[in-house]
């Protein structure tokens, strides 16, 4: 999304904490360790018998010995010199042992603290109890510090701080925000939440088709860096449904981080849009539609559900219709309509960029989508040599590419499973059809075409009978 406004807002520091929606304060107390001083016993008073002088010695040596014994009588210390040395040695051994233990605990604590600071911290958990307004406020409070501003050339967009590794922070954004980098190799800059300045970043890699890019930079942030990557809050298995409340957070209009609430309008659909860096080109991509605002400048921002899960990357927005077949004609503006790259697609693309990115474009396993006059959902070109349409929700083979073995797959076969993703399954005897295009594409993007001996299994039905086909050129890589 293009926006040339350069206004920024300074935000005060947000201390990471567990978010409570019901307004209750959480107070943490640290217990002080107990300490005890050594107990010193008082010397006992000499008894009367002890004060009685010894009998007159028979010789000088006997008297001298008696005087020596008398001088050592009484008190708490033993007269036996050997026991005194043994007790002192034991005391010093205990002191030395405790000192060594304290040093070891201190070193270990410092090492663990340094490790977790370098690795980032687990994102705050969001308390989902309470009404919707409280949940929305809790999500914004817990996730806004994970959103950054991204500037590249004349464009301003958004980014999601994904993790810290050592001194390096990784930021997820849209590829179209980096147009100046792709065209003239101008490096982007990042401003983190609550900070004043932009810092130059490197480009790990980008995918122009799915419009995803990853940046990296060495920087000590003011606010804690949360490791969304690697947590339960960023996973292709995150579940969401139409009607779920979501919050979009991004650099709205290039004026700083702002938040908007809405719902998921459609959980999965195909969207035709312009190809990046190719004037006049068109492409069809899998998206999630939402009423949560995705304004100019919010490209690359996050779409979060009410548990704080990252469910999408704000990527596209619709400004107006072309008027064809639409009530109101060309003058009708489109409101409350934004499109996000869903996490099922975002996750494998992001992971592959991290693994294979060298500053340039990282291409994915080809999965072609397009609208169809005979299907309400559309057509899917699988990378195995045949095309399918969703007919009555079932992914049905409609065409074979040249060279596809006809004995393996024929027109009319119904795809029921791709790898571990089920498109048709039974639940207590009821046949359930899964027409989630985004999850299907995301599953395929998780596979690499480099083989290495592993196989991808595709299950189909032909006239009600099951069959399977294996492809040795694919392996699950993420």
* Phi, psi of 68, deg, nearest 5: -65, -45
pLDDT on residue 128: 63
Could you give the count of Cα atoms lying within 13 Å of 203 in the half-sphere of its Cβ? 26
Two tokens, residue 341: 């790259």
Architecture of domain 132-356: Beta Barrel (2.40)
pLDDT on residue 47: 42
pLDDT on residue 121: 80
Regions of the chain short of the pLDDT cut 50: 1-52, 56-84, 117, 323, 328
In this chain, the answer to whether the domains covering 132-356 and 368-476 adopt an identical fold is no
Partners of 199 in beta bridges: 190
Q: What is the pLDDT of residues 343-363, one digit of tens each?
A: 999 999 999 999 999 999 998
Partners of 468 in beta bridges: 459
User: Where do the structural domains in the chain lie, given as residue ranges?
Assistant: 49-118, 132-356, 368-476
pLDDT on residue 191: 98
Q: What is the pTM of this model?
A: 0.73
Two tokens, residue 18: 């567990």
| CATH class of the 368-476 domain in this structure | mainly beta
Three-state secondary structure string covering 362-392: CCCCCCEEEEECCEEEEEEEECCCEEEEEEC
| Long-range pairs of 142-145 with CB within 8 A, sequence gap ≥ 24 | 142/19, 142/308, 143/247, 143/249, 143/302, 143/304, 143/308, 144/11, 144/14, 144/193, 144/249, 144/257, 144/259, 145/14, 145/16, 145/193, 145/194, 145/223, 145/224, 145/226
């Amino acid at each position: 999304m293009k926006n040339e406004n350069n206004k920024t807002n300074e935000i005060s520091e947000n201390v990471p904490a567990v978010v409570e929606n019901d307004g209750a304060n959480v107070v943490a107390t640290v217990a002080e360790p107990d300490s005890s001083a050594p107990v010193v016993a008082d010397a006992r008073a000499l008894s009367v018998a002890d004060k009685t002088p010894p009998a007159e010695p028979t010789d000088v040596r006997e008297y001298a010995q008696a005087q020596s014994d008398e001088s050592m009588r009484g008190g708490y210390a033993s007269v036996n010199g050997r026991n005194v040395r043994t007790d002192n040695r034991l005391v010093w051994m205990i002191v030395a042992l405790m000192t060594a233990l304290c040093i070891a605990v201190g070193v270990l604590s410092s090492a663990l603290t340094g490790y977790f600071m370098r690795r980032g911290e687990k994102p705050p958990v969001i308390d989902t109890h309470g009404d919707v307004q409280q949940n929305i406020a809790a999500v914004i409070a817990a996730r806004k510090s994970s959103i950054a501003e991204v500037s590249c050339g004349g464009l301003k967009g958004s980014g999601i701080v994904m993790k810290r590794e050592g001194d390096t922070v990784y930021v997820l954004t849209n590829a179209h925000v980096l147009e100046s980098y792709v065209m003239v190799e101008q490096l982007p800059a990042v401003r983190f939440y609550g900070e004043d300045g932009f810092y130059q970043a490197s480009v790990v890699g980008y995918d122009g088709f799915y419009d995803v890019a990853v940046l990296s930079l060495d920087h000590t942030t003011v606010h804690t860096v949360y490791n969304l990557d690697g947590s339960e809050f960023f996973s292709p298995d995150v579940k969401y449904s139409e009607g779920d409340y979501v919050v979009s957070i991004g650099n709205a209009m290039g004026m700083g981080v702002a938040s908007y609430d809405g719902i998921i309008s459609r959980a999965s659909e195909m969207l035709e849009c312009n190809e990046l860096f190719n004037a006049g080109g068109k492409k069809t991509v899998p998206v999630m539609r939402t009423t949560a605002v995705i304004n100019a400048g919010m490209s690359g921002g996050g779409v979060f559900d009410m548990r704080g899960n990252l469910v999408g990357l704000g990527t596209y927005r619709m400004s107006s219709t072309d008027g064809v077949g639409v009530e109101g004609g060309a003058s009708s503006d489109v409101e409350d309509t934004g499109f996000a790259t869903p996490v099922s697609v975002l996750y494998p693309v992001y992971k592959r960029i991290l693994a294979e990115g060298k500053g340039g474009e990282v291409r994915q396993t080809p999965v072609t989508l397009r609208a169809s006059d005979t299907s309400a959902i559309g057509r899917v070109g699988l990378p195995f040599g045949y095309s399918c349409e969703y007919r009555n929700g079932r992914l049905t083979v409609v065409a074979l590419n040249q060279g596809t073995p006809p004995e393996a797959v024929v027109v009319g076969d119904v795809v029921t499973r791709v790898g571990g993703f089920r498109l048709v399954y039974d639940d207590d005897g009821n046949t359930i059809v899964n027409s989630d295009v985004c999850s299907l594409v995301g599953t395929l993007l998780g596979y690499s075409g480099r083989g290495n001996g592993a196989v991808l299994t595709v299950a189909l039905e032909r006239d009600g009978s099951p069959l399977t086909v294996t492809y040795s050129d694919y392996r699950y890589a993420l």
